[in-house]
Amino acid sequence: MSAPTLSPTTATGTAATTRRRPRWRASTLAVVIPSALVLLTLLICALFAEALSPYDPLQQSLMDALQGPSAKHWLGTDDLGRDVLSRMIHGSRIAVIAAAEATGLAVLIGVPIGLFIGYRGGWWDWITMRAVEAIVSIPGIMVAIVIIAILGSGLHKAMFALGILYSTAFLRLARSVVLTEREEVYVKSARVIGASPRRILIRHIFLNIAPPLIVQVTLTVGAVLLAEAGLSFVGIGVQPPQASWGTMLNTAAAYMELNAFLAVPPGLAIVVTVLAVNLLGDVLRDSIGRGVRLPAATPPRPRSAAIARKGTAPLPAREDDALRVDGLEVMVSPKGGDPVPVVTDMSFRIAKGETLGLVGESGSGKTVTGLALMGLIGAGGRITAGQVTLDGTDLLQLPPSGLEKARGTDIAMVFQDPTTSLNPAYTVGSQISEVLRIKQGLSRRAAWDRTVELIDRVGIPRPAERARAYPHELSGGMAQRIAIARALSCGPKLLIADEPTTALDVTVQQEILDLFRDLQDEMGMAMLFVTHDLAVAADICDRIAVMYCGEVVETAPVEQLFRDPRHPYTAGLLSAMPHGASGTPPLPVIPGAVPTPGHWPTGCRFAPRCAHAAPGCALPVDLTPGQTTTNAERLTRCIRATDLTLEAAQ
């Protein structure tokens, strides 16, 4: 089988990615440009407040108090007749000073302390972090209020208080950067070769602290602006008559009934400014944190030729068929791309009490087939052709409610990883009894009793006790037994098992396979056993369907398939199977790689890798019984099936 291509693991290099120049997208620019303009306007207002203001912000004129917007006063006047626009412009200066002071102080206090305790560790670290936790557990505004109680109110003192408050964030950030870097490989290796790790540590800390620091600064600036407004609003921040957006809102609150418009300009100014800072921070975080975004892969174009063909003739009906699948086709639409076929011309049948193995490499479409039968291929996937007949009913013709009814009752599924297919939030027993109550209408009590019986039946000791366990308290093998018990709880006619032993320990695998066999003997359901492991398939299946590139290339009873493979791909798979004995020659490998959906050849999909390919292989091939045999159990998708003599497995 083809070896998976390992993506090269990139070296730790956060520094390398961060220094790559981000590529701006149009949507990013639509955020950056207005935000930058807002902040630029703010800065200009702050710097040239005197020149820009039409009036002195403190000049009172009681005759003109509480006016609405007019040509004389664009934004109206406040309770003392002061020009609101002029006060807004001067307020922007306060906002800039406040943000700079508090943020700067927070960085100056937080970063050195964080670096120090991160580097020293021990008691210094412990005590400081407990104090930080204590401060963080108090609502921030209360911390600021307490500090203002000590220092007194006023712009600079209040900003000092906010600086102390927000320093905790920078402290934690610096500390965590140091702690991460200390454990990095290059620091450790410097220690091993006897070099002083300190210099390399300092260099890397300064490289790595910059990006999160910048992001944290933007977050803090936004928070400071809001906090300053809040503190000034309640009267313990900036003091009147000095114009700050917060104090202006204080005035607005007092005169709300007389001039509601007073609240609008300062409030909007705060919102727009904080929004601009936050949005810029988001963009910075995205471009710094994730490096350059990869351009979206161009979606592969579907090969229309692969779809447009008549397909395999319907299989003759049989008395004991439990499931018949005829010409099933599944298309998947990749994000923003055209639909691509992942399963085509899929036909097989399973008799009552029979087990069909669906074998193929990953990506061959076996799991999708299983999910399609359940009607669970999810968003982006669509069944575009075919019939799925379960006990006489075409499942694909059922309305969603009918399919929902059939699931669990008539058709059930066991998934690959038992530890993730059970809900971690509920006990395993409740997940089985839920199905019994809903699907079979049992009472709570009866459902629970039946659940314990089922858990006992799948071979779990002390079932009543285990029913109350949560999934994470069970081993993988036990969890899979639970999943099997749940799938079989309503006695389905068809059980789909999707690689049910792959995630388990080898020793447990055999036990689970034995359990499947026992339960099938007892309950007589048909089973579709999806696996990539031919040895497992040989163990449990009656017949095998080999899949390649979304279609079945050969089906045969297990014995015949192993003894006499007709399709070159099957033969290749068989010869790639290890046979246990040591000293055997290296396993032959099928040359080339499995093409991905959307890149399938138009003719025989295996032809490019096939040693026996002939010119006729360039045309689509159907699944046929071949010319020499009339045995409907043996179907092959190969034009040379009859004239080739393929080497069988030993």
Partner 1 sequence: MIKLVGQRLLAMVPLLLIVSILTFSFTALLPSDPVDLIIGDRGSNEQHEQVRERLGLNDPFVTRYLDWLGRAVQGDLGTSFFNSVRVTDAVLLRMPATLSLTFASVLISVVVGLGAGVAAALRPRSWIDRLATFGATIGQAIPNFWFGLILASVFAVTLRWFPATGYVPLGENPLGWLLSITLPALALGLSTSAALARQVRSAMVGVLQQDYIRAARAQGLSSRRVIFRHALKNALVPVVTVLSFQITVLLGGALIVEQVYAINGIGSLAIAAVRQQDIPMIQGIVLILVLVVMGVQLATDIVYGLINPKARPA
- Provide φ and ψ at 200, rounded to 5°: -65, -35
Strands across the sheet containing 381-390 = 340-351, 321-332, 381-390, 393-394
- Shortest Å, Cβ 300 to partner 1: 23
| 335, 374 contact by CB (below 8 A) | no
Asked whether position 486 contacts partner 1 by CB under 8 A, the answer is yes
- Shortest Å, Cβ 25 to partner 1: 17
Of the two residues 385 and 436, which places its CB atom closer to partner 1 in the complex? 436
- Shortest Å, Cβ 70 to partner 1: 20
Per-residue contact string for residues 234-253; x = within reach of partner 1 by CB under 8 A: xxx------------x--xx
Contacts of 139 (CB under 8 A, 6+ apart): none
**Sole binder of partner 1 in the list 15, 32, 39, 146 (CB under 8 A):** 146
**Sole binder of partner 1 in the list 33, 37, 256, 292 (CB under 8 A):** 256
Q: Which residues in 423-482 contact partner 1 (CB under 8 A)? A: 423-426, 434-435, 438-439, 470, 472
Contacts of 136 (CB under 8 A, 6+ apart): 168
User: What's the Cα-to-Cα distance from 563 to each of 547, 632, 649, rounded to whole Å?
Assistant: 18, 18, 6
Of the two residues 331 and 413, which places its CB atom closer to partner 1 in the complex? 413
Cα separation of 156 and 302, whole Å?
66
Asked whether position 149 contacts partner 1 by CB under 8 A, the answer is yes
Of the two residues 207 and 275, which places its CB atom closer to partner 1 in the complex? 275
Place of tokens 């791909």: 569
Q: Which residues in 73-132 contact partner 1 (CB under 8 A)? A: 130-131
**Sole binder of partner 1 in the list 159, 162, 224, 483 (CB under 8 A):** 483
**Sole binder of partner 1 in the list 16, 29, 260, 632 (CB under 8 A):** 260
Asked whether position 279 contacts partner 1 by CB under 8 A, the answer is yes
Of the two residues 56 and 133, which places its CB atom closer to partner 1 in the complex? 133
Cα separation of 359 and 502, whole Å?
13
Q: Which residues in 13-72 contact partner 1 (CB under 8 A)? A: none
Of the two residues 200 and 263, which places its CB atom closer to partner 1 in the complex? 263
Query: Interface with partner 1 by CB under 8 A: which range of 109-117, 142-150, 504-512, 595-603?
Result: 142-150
- Indicate the Cα dihedral angle 487, 489, 492, 494, nearest 10°: 30
Of the two residues 278 and 387, which places its CB atom closer to partner 1 in the complex? 278
Of the two residues 251 and 347, which places its CB atom closer to partner 1 in the complex? 251
Of the two residues 503 and 553, which places its CB atom closer to partner 1 in the complex? 503
Asked whether position 319 contacts partner 1 by CB under 8 A, the answer is no
Asked whether position 487 contacts partner 1 by CB under 8 A, the answer is yes
Asked whether position 148 contacts partner 1 by CB under 8 A, the answer is yes
Cα separation of 87 and 85, whole Å?
5
Contacts of 266 (CB under 8 A, 6+ apart): 88, 91, 229, 245, 246, 248, 249, 252
| 187, 204 contact by CB (below 8 A) | yes
Q: Is 293 helix (H, G, I), strand (E, B) or coil?
A: coil
Of the two residues 138 and 618, which places its CB atom closer to partner 1 in the complex? 138
Q: Which residues pair with 530 in a beta bridge?
A: 358, 498
Place of tokens 């009793």: 449
Q: Which residues in 357-376 contact partner 1 (CB under 8 A)? A: 371, 374, 376
Q: Is 323 helix (H, G, I), strand (E, B) or coil?
A: strand
- Please give the structure tokens belonging to residue 617: 């292989």
Of the two residues 97 and 272, which places its CB atom closer to partner 1 in the complex? 272
Cα separation of 92 and 84, whole Å?
12
- Shortest Å, Cβ 334 to partner 1: 16
Per-residue contact string for residues 378-417; x = within reach of partner 1 by CB under 8 A: x-------------------------xxxxxx--xx-x-x
Asked whether position 270 contacts partner 1 by CB under 8 A, the answer is yes
User: What's the Cα-to-Cα distance from 489 to each of 88, 451, 638, rounded to whole Å?
Assistant: 71, 8, 41
C-alpha count within 13 angstroms, C-beta hemisphere, residue 104? 8
